[in-house]
Amino acid sequence: MPIYEYVCEADGEVIELLRSMNEADKPVEDPSGKGRAFVRRHSVFGVSGASATGAVSMPVGGCCPCGKAQSMCGRN
């Protein structure tokens, strides 16, 4: 089952729920019981940038459409 993110339009609080795909857009109850309305938002995450140790991650490799590693392909 996928995890969906929902945001409260009033205060910006974000919650995550594990729901089936056919329940993704159904109404979400306010977990704090305050009657706030939450709407589903598209989840985004990043995989580059500095880590906790200060190391910077760099994009690595990938495949050329020919099936060879990009560093081994003459198309670059």
| Contact between 28 and 13 (Cβ < 8 Å) | no
Q: What confidence score (pLDDT) does residue 64 get?
A: 61
**What is the model's pLDDT at position 42?**
83
Residue 74 in this model has a pLDDT that exceeds 90: no
pLDDT at residue 1 tops 70 = yes
Residue 70: predicted pLDDT:
62
Predicted confidence (pLDDT) per residue in 33-70, tens digit: 999 999 999 876 665 555 555 555 555 555 666 666 66
Of 50, 30, 47, 46, residue with least CA distance to 38: 30
pTM of the model: 0.56
